[in-house]
Structure formats: structure tokens, C-alpha cells
Amino acid sequence: MKNYYSKYTPFLFLIPAMLILLLFFFIPFVESFILSFKSYDHSLYNPTWVGLANYQALLGSKEFWQVLWNTVLFMVVAVPILVVLPIIIAVLLSQNLRGITIYRVISYIPVIISIVVAGIAFKWLYNYDGLLNYLISFIGIPKVEWLTNPDIAIYSVIILTIWKGLGYYAMIYLGALATAPKELYESCDIDGASVFRKHLAITIPHLMPTISLVAVISSISAMKVFVEIYVMTQGGPMNSTKTIVYYIYQRAFENLDIGLASACGIILLIITMGLSMANLKYFEQQNQIG
């Protein structure tokens, strides 16, 4: 009897996690999948079955494709920066310098600040008569419409996302750097290798699994960006900053088009899973090559 319990003990510890996944992922996913085949145009309480009509409506909508393009643009611009720049920050924060703990705390402050507070603060900075335009006016640059110009509004929001995430990903890299073999760095110093060459030959290969993790996490976060958009632009101007999650929010809670919003959510899930698997596959191949 004792051996029987010891055999299944590990599975008992998995039960809480499985319950959380069941309640907050699998059941909502199944419900959303079913709702995506229904229409709420006539009644919120008695939806009608419309099959693939919601998916066809999405794929034939110019707004959906613009929203999808905005989301992809957001990810393509933000993710490479959030993958690469925190490595440099982590390397600097890993140095054995006096007061380095203070710098580590300062670098992490943006992470613990509420995204709503950060969004309001950046919106104030980006105001046409705000601090940022006031500062650039001293060097002769005309005022910029940071959040009202459709060509640059999304990049203004991306800057907030990058600022908010740098410290978080830097700490992930910093934890990985703590396990880097010191002997290899000492050998490079003896051989007279430059700082750039040393990190290229040792740090980057050692961080490859962590880089893969950061790439996946930041890609998913970029695909799901919402609060920044809601606080700063609400999808404007001219839908130039409307991302797919904000589009789902609008369709579901403003237009009460639950079926179309559910279909859009399923499409987002498929895209996110595909990107995550592609990222993992790519970095797995890079690890094998290395």
C-alpha cells in the first residue's frame, strides 16, 4: 500500500495546476469555440447557429486585416528589442560593482508600476503641449503629434511596452547569467579576447535557452497587448493602433457581437500557438547547431 501511494504522489501535486488550467483555460476555450459558431444579432439570450459565418465575416473584413497588421507590426518592432536590449542590461547589471543592487532595483521599477499609471503618465508626456514636445523644442525640433498622427501613434505605444518590459526580461537574463561558467570568461581574459568577442562566444550561447523563452513570452505579450491601447489611444487615430485583443474587446463588450469576438479569439489563439511553436523550433535548431 505504501508503494502504491508513493507511486502516485507526484500526480497529486499536479492536481491544483490541472484544476486551474481546466477552470481558466480549457473550459473557457471550449465555450468560446462553441460561441464562435453562433450569432447574437437577434438576441443575447437565444443565439442562432450560423456555422462558419463569423469566420467568413472576419476574413472578409478590411478592419480585421488592418487590426491583424497592427498587431503583427507591434510584435515585429517590440519583440526584437525586448529580446536583445535586456541582454545588454543584464550583462551590465551582472558586474561586481559597488552599489550594483541599487541599479538593479531601479531597472525593475517600471515592471512594478501599474500599466494603467504608466499609460496615463506616457499619455501626458506625449501630449501636444506635454513635456516631451517641450524638451525637443529646445533643439529646434517642431512639436510631434505622438498619439494623434496615424503614422507614428503605434510606435509611441510600443515605446511604453518596451520601457515596461525591459527590466523584467533583464532579470530573467540576469538569473541565467548567474550560472554561466566563470572559467570560460577567465580563459578569454587570459587569451586577450575583447569584451564583445567574449560575450559573443560565451554569453550568447549560454543564454540561448533563455533567449528562446524571452522570445516566446514577449511575442505572446505583444500579440495580447490591450491596456496600453485602451488607456492611451483606444485604437485611434483611424484604427492605426487598434490591436486584435482590443478589437475583440470592442466587438464583445461594446457591440455585443459575442460570436464574432469569440471567432476572433480562436484565430488569435491559433496564431499565438503557431508563433510560439515556430519560435521554440527555431531556437531548438540553433541550440543543436551550436
pLDDT 10s digits, 172-206? 999 998 888 888 777 777 777 777 888 788 888 88
CATH code for position 176: 1.10.3720.10
The answer to whether position 9 is within a domain reads no
* Domain of 202, in residue numbers: 58-289
* Tens of pLDDT, residues 162-177: 999 999 999 999 999 8
Please give the share of the chain, as a percent, with pLDDT higher than 70.
96
The answer to whether position 172 is within a domain reads yes
The answer to whether position 171 is within a domain reads yes
For the chain, give the secondary structure using H, E and C: CHHHHHHHHHHHHHHHHHHHHHHHHHHHHHHHHHHCCEECCCCCCCCEECCCHHHHHHHCCHHHHHHHHHHHHHHHHHHHHHHHHHHHHHHHHCCCCCCHHHHHHHHHHHHHCCHHHHHHHHHHHHCCCCHHHHHHHHHCCCCCCCCCCCCCHHHHHHHHHHHHHHHHHHHHHHHHHCCCCHHHHHHHHHHCCCHHHHHHHHHHHHHHHHHHHHHHHHHHHHHCCCHHHHHHCCCCCCCCCCCHHHHHHHHHHHCCCHHHHHHHHHHHHHHHHHHHHHHHHHHHHHHHHC
The pLDDT score that the predictor gives to residue 261 is: 94
pLDDT band per the 50, 70, 90 thresholds, residue 90? very high
The answer to whether position 14 is within a domain reads no
The answer to whether position 215 is within a domain reads yes
Look at residue 148 and tell me whether its pLDDT is greater than 70: yes
* Tens of pLDDT, residues 17-56: 899 989 988 898 899 999 999 998 877 778 889 999 999 9
The pLDDT score that the predictor gives to residue 74 is: 95
Look at residue 15 and tell me whether its pLDDT is greater than 90: no
Domain tally, the chain? 1
The answer to whether position 231 is within a domain reads yes
